[in-house]
Amino acid sequence: MNKISENNRLREKYPTFEVPSSLYNVIHVNRCSSMRELQLLIKHVQECTNFTIDTENEKSNGKLALIQIQSIPQQLPISIILVELAHLPSDNDKYNLIRELFMLIFRPDNKLYSWGDAARELQPAASYDLFMWPILATIINVQLHFPNWYMWARTRCESCSLSIHDEDNDTDNVNTQDICHQPSPYKPGEAWALQKAMVYAAQLFIDKSYTCSHWAAGLTSKNSTLSETRRNTMIHYALYDCFSTTYLVKPIFQQWTFDKLKNTSTTELFTSFEPLPVPTKITPPTQKNRIKNLNVQKLMKIFGCDESDLESVSDDDGDEIYLNQVIGPVNNNELAGEVKQLVAGGEDYELVAGGEDYELADEVNTEEVLATQDVQDINDDQQIESNEPAQYQRKSSYQRRSRSAKMRHNRKHARQQKKHRFDHQIRRKFYHRFKSFMIRRILRLYQIPFVHMKKDQDDVVVGLRNEDIRRQADHDLATTIFHRRSFYYYKNKYQW
Ligand SMILES: [Zn+2]
C-alpha cells in the first residue's frame, strides 16, 4: 500500500488528533516578525526549560527550511514557534533577537524532545549563526524510547496482556484484529513512524500527507508564493508533528499505562514538565551529554571570576541574557573534579584563563570531553600515537617500565599504529587556506575523536579508530565542513 492510501485508510479508521486552538499560540519567526513579537516570545521562552523540536525540509532541494519549536510551559497557552530559515530578517536588531531566542531555547540544562535525530536535522542551521554548535541543551530522541515503553504498556493493558502470551508462542489462532493495541509492526531496533506511534498507542490519527512540501516558500501571507489554503494546511501539519511528540513524552518517560494516557487531558500532557528521567539503558551518556557537566558559570568559578565578570566575557551581540540564564547551583566537589580534568587537559587551562572570548569557553567544553575520552582510550589499548597531548598520569605497569623498554614499546606501537591509522577514514574536500591546526580545531569542535589527520591533495583525510566511530563521524561532519565558506566563517569566529 502506498503512503497516500495508507494515510487515507488511517484517516477513516481513527479519530483525528486535535489540540484546541485556545491552548496554543502560533508565532512565525521570519522577516515580517515585529520586534515586539520577538521580545514577548523571548520573555516566554525564558520561563520554559522543556521544548519539543522538529524540522521540515524544502521539497525541491531537500534543504532544511523550517524549525518548529513548541514550548512546554508551566501554564497554558503554549507557544509554537515556526522559524522560516529562507525568510529570516536582514535587519540586524531583529536578527539579534532571533539569536537571543535560540540561545535561550538551546541553553544548557534545557531539554529538547524530538521524534528522530534533531541534532542531525538541525546541523545545517548552524551556519546561520543563530546558535552555537554543538547545541548545549539535552536533546532527547523520543522515538528511541517509544518501542520499549509500548511493549511494556501492552503487558499492562488488560485485554492485550492476555493475547501477548499467545503471540510469544507463535500460535496460529491469535486473532489480533480484536486486540486494542496491536503488536509492534516493526522489527526490533527499527524506528517507529510518528503516525504509527500515535495510532498504536492512542488510536489517534495525524495527517502525514504534507511531509514533502515547499517549506521554503513562505508560511505567512506577506512572504509566500503559496495559496492561503495550502499555507494553512502546511502550518497545521507542522504544528501537529510537534504536538504528537509532546503528547507521548510524559507517557513514555513517566511510564504511563494506555489507560492513563487515554484519561489524561491534553492540557496536562502539554504543561509543567518536571525533569523526567531518561532511561539510561537506551541512551548511555554520550559525549554530548557529558559536555553539559561543565557550564559557563562553573568555569567562571574555576577561574576566580564572579558574576560581575560575566558581562566582560560575552560579546556584544546579545549573549548577556544567555549567560545569566546559565547560572545554577554549583557543587564544590563536582567543581574540584572538573578543575582536575581541566588541568589534565594541559594547554586548555591557559586558553581560558587568558581568554576574554566566550567561544573559547565553549571550545574547552569540547576539549574537556575529548580529554576524558582519550584517557579512556589510552587505558583501553595503550595507544600513545595520537594527536592529543599524552601527559595523563596513568598508574599502570607501563609507567613503571625502564625508559628504554618504554621507548621500544612506543616505537613498536607507533609503527603498528601508523600502518593502521587510516584503516577507518573519512574524506572531506578542503579550501586551500585551511591550515592543519584549524582543521584539527574544527574536528574537536564537532567532537570527532580522530586518531590522525592528514591532507591528501584536495582532501582532508581523517583517521578513526573503528568502523562505528567512522560512521558516526561521517554522519556528524558535513560534507562542506572545510569548504571556502566555512573557512571564512571559522576564520571570523576564531580570529585566525
Ligand atoms: Zn490494549
Q: Can you give the three-state secondary structure of 281-335, one letter per residue?
A: CCCCCCHHHHHCCCCHHHHHHHCCCCHHHHHHHCCCCCCHHHHHHCCCCCCHHHH
Pairing state of beta strands 459-464 and 452-456? antiparallel
Task: Please state, for a pLDDT cut of 90, what percent of the chain lies above it.
Answer: 45
Cα–ligand 1 centroid distance for 203 (angstroms): 10
Ligand 1 centroid–CA 187 distance in Å is: 20
84 beta partners:
66
What is the residue type of 147? P
Instruction: Give distance in angstroms: CA of 193 to centre of ligand 1.
Output: 19
Distance between CA atoms of 198 and 464, rounded to whole angstroms?
40
- 167 burial level (CB within 10 Å; 0-12, 13-18, 19+): middle
Reported as a pLDDT band with limits 50, 70 and 90, residue 409 is confident
CA-angle at 467, arms to 461 and 473, nearest 5° = 55
Going from the Cα of 207 to the center of ligand 1, the distance in angstroms, rounded, reads: 23
State the distance from the centre of ligand 1 to the C-alpha of 432, rounded, in angstroms: 61
Mean pLDDT taken over the chain: 76
Residue 274 CA to ligand 1 centre (angstroms): 28
Model confidence over 162-199: pLDDT tens digits? 777 666 555 555 555 567 899 999 998 899 999 999 99
Break the chain into its structural domains and give their ranges.
1-166+178-284, 292-418, 421-496
Q: Is 425 helix (H, G, I), strand (E, B) or coil?
A: strand
CATH 3.30.70 describes domain 421-496: yes
- Cα of 247 from ligand 1 centre, angstroms: 18
Please enumerate in sequence order all residues whose Cβ is within 8 A of that of 395, keeping only pairs 6 or more positions apart, or say none.
none
**C-alpha 261 – ligand 1 centre gap (Å):** 12
Residue 321 CA, ligand 1 centroid: distance in Å: 48
Per-residue pLDDT of 237-249, as tens digits, reads: 999 999 999 999 9
Question: In what side-by-side order are the strands of the sheet with 424-429?
Answer: 424-429, 459-464, 452-456
In the predicted structure, residue 348 carries a pLDDT above the cut 90: no
Q: What is the pLDDT of residues 231-277, one digit of tens each?
A: 999 999 999 999 999 999 999 999 999 999 999 999 999 987 665 55
* 304-343: pLDDT as tens digits: 444 333 333 333 333 333 332 333 333 434 434 433 343 3
Distance 175 CA to ligand 1 centre (A): 13
What is the per-residue pLDDT for 198? 97
Of 451, 448, 455, nearest to 478 by C-alpha is: 448
CA of 176 to the centre of ligand 1 (A): 11
Lowest-pLDDT range of 4-13, 31-40, 98-107, 205-214: 205-214
* Choice among 77-91, 284-298, 427-441 with the minimum mean pLDDT: 284-298
Q: Ligand 1: distance of its center to the CA of 403 in Å? A: 68
**What spacing in Å lies between the alpha carbon of 20 and ligand 1's midpoint?**
27
State the distance from the centre of ligand 1 to the C-alpha of 15, rounded, in angstroms.
17
How many angstroms separate the alpha carbon of residue 157 from the centre of ligand 1?
5
Q: Look at residue 200 in the predicted model and tell me its pLDDT.
A: 96
Beta strands 424-429 and 459-464, pairing class = antiparallel
Cα dihedral 471, 472, 478, 484 sign: negative
**Rounded distance between C-alpha atoms, residue 323 and residue 103, angstroms:** 9
Tell how far the Cα of 341 is from the centroid of ligand 1, in angstroms: 50
Query: How far away, in angstroms, is 3 Cα from ligand 1 center?
Result: 26
What separation in Å is there between the alpha carbon of 162 and the centre of ligand 1? 9
CA dihedral 201, 58, 476, 488 (to 10 degrees): -150
Within 1-141, residue ranges assigned H as helices are 3-13, 35-46, 92-105, 118-122
The answer to whether residue 21 scores a pLDDT higher than 80 is yes
* pLDDT over 50 (residue 386): no
CATH of 1-166+178-284, one of 3.60.15.10, 3.20.20.10, 3.30.460.80, 3.30.420.10: 3.30.420.10
Q: Calculate how far, in angstroms, residue 182's C-alpha sits from the geometric centre of ligand 1.
A: 7
Q: What is the distance in A from the centroid of ligand 1 to the CA of 179? A: 6
Confidence of residue 64 (pLDDT cuts 50, 70, 90): very high
